Structure 1
Amino acid sequence: MKRKHLIMACTVLVVVAGVYALGRWSAMPASPLATATGGKPAQAADAPARAAATSPVRTRKGSPLPPPTTPLGTTFADLQARANAGDADAARRLVHDLDRCNRQRAAEWNNAGTTNALLERKTEGMNAAQLRTYQALLDAMDVRQQTAGRNRELCAGVDDKMLDTLVANIAQAARLGDADARACYLGQGPLYNVRSLLEHPGVLQSYRRDASAMIESGLAAGDWRVVDLLQRAYEPGAQGLLAGMLGPDPAQHYRYLKLYRLGAEPHRASQLDRQIAAVTANLSPEQIYEADRWAQTALKDDFTGASTTATPQGWEACTF
């Protein structure tokens, strides 16, 4: 069989996560709806994104963005300036392009060995079914090679300093109302780029301030991803940055789990009912009544559609 010359395989991005002891910070009050900070723009902690804007805004807010194939190296300064000035479309585009370039570097490095192993595999002795499978793998890699080529063109001129602004730009896009950025920032925050976190540890304080406002805006927007993140973060024993900030709270865990259950698809109802039964065993009747009443009101006022449609099992917070 003629082998195609390919260099890309499946994209694998290993996101390093850890648990930071944020318990020394004062615990967040019971309901984020009542205690959010109102979304005050970050200042010192967001210096990487703001300092990266090396030129003034050349286009008006809301004006057309550069074509999608324009190399980020040539558009970065303008997109950054527009994002800092409050242009939500520019902020969203900047996050998506930076994330693609960040993943592209890791993918090319990690997949070179996998690609070579597949291309060097001997086809002699394979039966018809195995040969079809092998050809399908080669065809899939061919498609990925074309995608990788487009990503290399997009990422021309992108340096480490630009990539270092990814988390700060995710935060900015989330502040401007982008739901994908909000889910990512709440779910992983500065941990999404650990190298940048080590260089700019002040972003942890920015996360604590911004996360409260993003929780409020996400609930007001009926974002089921925020509900799922909250019910998991409040669960005793939960790990992650959001859990570390909020602290364990069985009553709050039940509140958001109950709301999540009210919007769940039928095929996940029984599993969620078992979770709810386990949680309510440790709550007082008053806590259960109050949480049930809150969940019913929130569902009626702010939420539509099925919660588990937006958050299928195994869903990732950062999927740009």
Structure 2
Amino acid sequence: MKRGVSIAAGLIVVAAAIVGAYFAGRAGADSARRELRIQAVAENAGAAQADTASAIALPAPTKGAALPAPGTPLKDNFARLQANANAGDAAAATRLVRDLDRCNRLRSTQWRNAGATDALTRRSTDGMNAAQLRTYQALLEAMELRQQRAQQEQAMCDGVDERMLGSLVPNIAQAAKLGDEQARACYLERGPLYDARGLIRQPDALRGYRATATKLVEAGLAAGDWRVVDLLQQAYEPGSQSLLGGLLGADPVQHYRYLKLYRLGAEAHRADQLDRQLAAVAAGLSPAQLAQADAWAQNTLDTGFKGRSTDGTPPGWEACDF
């Protein structure tokens, strides 16, 4: 009996490792300008892209060019995608970010996959009951799918060098500027911290983040982007440790405003939790502040936001899940 329990426990651990490896790589702009209280710093946010362009010869941009077929080796298309992204091609910028991110994650994914595969294949099936054997077979099939996916990723990423990978963060910023909502959320939340190695090489990227983030917040609010609202309510919360929070600074009134706006657009099953959060924040505000914030949130919802705020922002959502 103890052996069966041990085997089952081991399978659960292995399953967790495999599942984790498998899924690792998931209004008002005008009023916002007055409220964010950010002093923009004039920086060339495309400096890192210029460095990449000087290191890798880029062709002339091709307006309206079709994107490469999915899975095409990135090294063969990097220069063209980069040139078109730099010229304002939103589709090229989005594709470049996704492919670079997949290649950037590949090494760590392969390492985790190798460990999970080794642990699974070493496990003995002696003593397993029928249910355990079915689970084991399902895990083997999942492992096979992961191996196939890894081979496809490897083929796409062969030849992608450090210079190309080093352009990931500035390309996220470029895609965000061109309207990619996922890239916008990622850059606002993580900015140059998304690639800490690159930040060490280019510390000035943090100054570029200040100016770029300001414009992205305004663009996100103008577009009715609920991701930006959620990021703002978290950033303004006293005690926030996020990069965006460091830029904006703690502000209970602004925290309440954006949390209230988020609550007004929320699904019913999230309402109670959000109401408790609002009540805790409201305890430190005056009646006048609350009245003004409530009116602002309702007006902003009516004039600039549609859909449900919680649809794309479940608890623990990942801003950089490309």
With normalisation by structure 1, the TM-score equals 0.88
**Aligned twin of 2:47:** 44
CA distance in 2, matches of 1:98, 1:39: 28
CA distance in 1, matches of 2:22, 2:203: 29
Q: Is there any run of 5+ residues in structure 1 with no aligned partner, and where?
A: 1-7, 15-27
Structure showing the higher helix proportion among its residues: 2
Taking a change above 3 Å as real, the CA distance of residues 246 and 215 of structure 1, as seen in their structure-2 partners, is same
Counterpart code for 2:127: G
Is the counterpart of residue 196 in structure 1 residue 198 in structure 2?
Answer: yes
Taking a change above 3 Å as real, the CA distance of residues 252 and 30 of structure 1, as seen in their structure-2 partners, is farther
CA distance in 1, matches of 2:315, 2:42: 30
Task: Measure how far apart 1:51 and its partner are.
Answer: 3.4
CA distance in 2, matches of 1:224, 1:243: 17
Counterpart of 1:262 (choices 261, 264, 268) is 264
Q: Deviation digits for residues 129-171 of structure 1, max 9, x if unmatched? A: 1111111111111111111111111112101111111111000
CA distance in 2, matches of 1:64, 1:43: 24
CA distance in 2, matches of 1:169, 1:225: 20
Work out the number of aligned pairs and report it. Answer: 298
With normalisation by structure 2, the TM-score equals 0.87
CA distance in 2, matches of 1:203, 1:134: 47
- Tell me, what secondary structure is at the counterpart of 1:309? coil
Taking a change above 3 Å as real, the CA distance of residues 243 and 89 of structure 1, as seen in their structure-2 partners, is same
**Aligned twin of 1:298:** 300
**Aligned twin of 1:112:** 114
CA distance in 2, matches of 1:36, 1:142: 52
Is the counterpart of residue 248 in structure 1 residue 250 in structure 2?
Answer: yes
CA distance in 1, matches of 2:43, 2:300: 25
CA distance in 1, matches of 2:162, 2:89: 24
**Aligned twin of 2:81:** 79
Taking a change above 3 Å as real, the CA distance of residues 222 and 29 of structure 1, as seen in their structure-2 partners, is closer
- Tell me, what secondary structure is at the counterpart of 1:137? helix
Is the counterpart of residue 223 in structure 1 residue 225 in structure 2?
Answer: yes
Task: Measure how far apart 1:208 and its partner are.
Answer: 0.7
**Aligned twin of 1:277:** 279
Taking a change above 3 Å as real, the CA distance of residues 220 and 29 of structure 1, as seen in their structure-2 partners, is closer
- Tell me, what secondary structure is at the counterpart of 2:311? helix
Task: Measure how far apart 1:36 and its partner are.
Answer: 8.3
**Aligned twin of 2:161:** 159
Q: Is there any run of 5+ residues in structure 2 with no aligned partner, and where?
A: 1-16, 26-31
CA distance in 2, matches of 1:267, 1:220: 27
Is the counterpart of residue 31 in structure 1 residue 29 in structure 2?
Answer: no
Q: Deviation digits for residues 99-124 of structure 1, max 9, x if unmatched? A: 01111121112331221011110001
- Tell me, what secondary structure is at the counterpart of 1:229? helix
- Tell me, what secondary structure is at the counterpart of 1:244? helix
- Tell me, what secondary structure is at the counterpart of 2:316? coil
- Tell me, what secondary structure is at the counterpart of 1:197? helix
State the superposition RMSD in angstroms: 2.3
Is the counterpart of residue 288 in structure 1 residue 285 in structure 2?
Answer: no
Task: Measure how far apart 1:43 and its partner are.
Answer: 4.0
CA distance in 2, matches of 1:192, 1:292: 35
CA distance in 1, matches of 2:294, 2:317: 26
